[in-house]
Amino acid sequence: MKAVVLENKGVITYKEVPTPEPAPGHLRLKIKAVSICGSDIKRYVDGHRMYPLILGHESAGVIDLIGEGVNKDYLGKHAAVIPLVPCFVCEQCQRGFYSACHNYSFIGSRQDGCYAEYVDLTEKNLFVVPEKLSFEHVAMIEPSTVARHMLALGDFKRGETAIVLGAGSIGLMIVQWLRILGAEKIIVTDILEDNLKIASKLGANVTVNPSKVDMVKELQKLVGDGADLTLEATGVPQVLEQTLPITRPRGTIVLAGNQPLDKSLPLTFIENLMRREISLKGCFMSYSAPFPGHEWAETIDALLNGSLDIETIISHRYPLSQAPEIFEKIGAHQLTHQKIVLNPEETV
Ligand SMILES: [Zn+2]
Ligand SMILES: [Zn+2]
């Protein structure tokens, strides 16, 4: 089969690789759509833990082959890939904290992923979906679940006011979940006007561009003593620091942006956090018990009833074969984009 393989830091190729044959207990998914995640780009630009590796974890397809011992009813079913492969036995898995598993794998990061014609999976890593959903939309269930999980971690309640820092793909998913779950006011910040326009279309009530105004002052004008919930999705240290003065005392901040590891925060951050008795919560992936969690089922419901808009956040579609040039362009900051969908079938 053809696949897109990360060969080394900054080196990605489209080439022929062995087609997976499912082992006993495994299934094979014929990939119909896979979207590019910011983490895939990071693995390409900054380098990764292992090579060669087929990237890609936001994906959907059709189950086309089953290994020994797998129920035949799976054949032909449409499914989303659940990329986390927890051990299900360690202390954290027992608690249902799967993303803290002591011994996990991850499709497209620690084992071969979905930038390919086929991917090999276990039953637990397939989320069977209704056939009427488009594969492109199903591929984006995973990033939606991360946003939904952030709101669960932030204990979001209907009627609350929220600030979303960063209107990239996760930020735009968060905006939608805030709208779906009944936020009173959704305020979104981003330095790109295009991102803010999309955020408004998806449910933001107010948008603020920090490259044009003093962000903290502007947000304080809008929320007074602070928002109930602040969601950080930029991964920029200065933005992280600014979360405190815009969150109300006893409010909550949830972090999902990956911060640069060579930077640090002044301890005044902790001082201010303590004085305002703010809860700071980390978010890593999207899982809860029972695996993969309510985030997944709720996303399906939102896709079926039309409340989750995926179409608006898809900016580009390409055949899988073009992935190397697309990564090169993104790495060189020559392609502004929202979600990019790759389609393996168009390569034939
Ligand atoms: Zn992702
Ligand atoms: Zn485990």
Per-residue pLDDT of the chain (348 residues; tens, 9 = 90+): 999 999 999 999 999 999 999 999 999 999 999 999 999 999 999 999 999 999 999 999 999 999 999 999 999 999 999 999 999 999 999 999 999 999 999 999 999 999 999 999 999 999 999 999 999 999 999 999 999 999 999 999 999 999 999 999 999 999 999 999 999 999 999 999 999 999 999 999 999 999 999 999 999 999 999 999 999 999 999 999 999 999 999 999 999 988 988 999 999 999 999 999 999 999 999 999 999 999 999 999 999 999 999 999 999 999 999 999 999 999 999 999 999 999 997 544
**266 Cα–ligand 1 center, Å:** 30
Nearest to 21 by CA among 64, 55, 73: 64
Q: Which two tokens stand for residue 117?
A: 């014609």
**106 Cα–ligand 2 center, Å:** 12
**183 Cα–ligand 1 center, Å:** 25
- Ligand number, closest to the Cα atom of 43: 1
- Ligand number, closest to the Cα atom of 146: 1
Q: Count CB atoms within 10 A of the CB of residue 14.
A: 17
DSSP sequence for 260-323:
PTT----THHHHHHHHTT-EEEE--S---SSTT-HHHHHHHHHHHTT-S--GGGEEEEEEGGGH
117: DSSP letter? S
- Ligand number, closest to the Cα atom of 107: 1
The residue written with tokens 């074969």 in the block is 321
Asked if residues 76 and 62 have their Cβ atoms less than 8 Å apart, the reply is yes
Measured in degrees and rounded to the nearest 5, phi and psi for residue 142 equal -60, -55
Q: Which class for 191: exposed (0-12), middle (13-18), buried (19 or more C-beta within 10 A)?
A: middle
Q: Count CB atoms within 10 A of the CB of residue 301.
A: 12
- Ligand number, closest to the Cα atom of 91: 2
3-class DSSP assignment, residue 265? coil
The residue written with tokens 């190397």 in the block is 324
Q: Which two tokens stand for residue 6?
A: 């990360």
What per-residue confidence (pLDDT) applies to 103?
97
Asked if residues 178 and 151 have their Cβ atoms less than 8 Å apart, the reply is yes
What per-residue confidence (pLDDT) applies to 346?
53
**336 Cα–ligand 1 center, Å:** 18
Q: Which class for 149: exposed (0-12), middle (13-18), buried (19 or more C-beta within 10 A)?
A: buried
What per-residue confidence (pLDDT) applies to 347?
44
**66 Cα–ligand 1 center, Å:** 26
- Ligand number, closest to the Cα atom of 96: 2
Nearest to 96 by CA among 282, 251, 286: 286
**291 Cα–ligand 2 center, Å:** 12
**59 Cα–ligand 1 center, Å:** 10
**68 Cα–ligand 1 center, Å:** 30
**Kind plus residue range of the DSSP H or E element containing 163:** strand 161-165
Q: Which class for 91: exposed (0-12), middle (13-18), buried (19 or more C-beta within 10 A)?
A: exposed
**285 Cα–ligand 1 center, Å:** 8
- Ligand number, closest to the Cα atom of 285: 1
Q: Which two tokens stand for residue 85?
A: 């492969």
Measured in degrees and rounded to the nearest 5, phi and psi for residue 317 equal -130, 130
Q: Count CB atoms within 10 A of the CB of residue 90.
A: 16
**Kind plus residue range of the DSSP H or E element containing 220:** helix 215-223
**85 Cα–ligand 2 center, Å:** 9
Strands 247-255 and 279-282: parallel
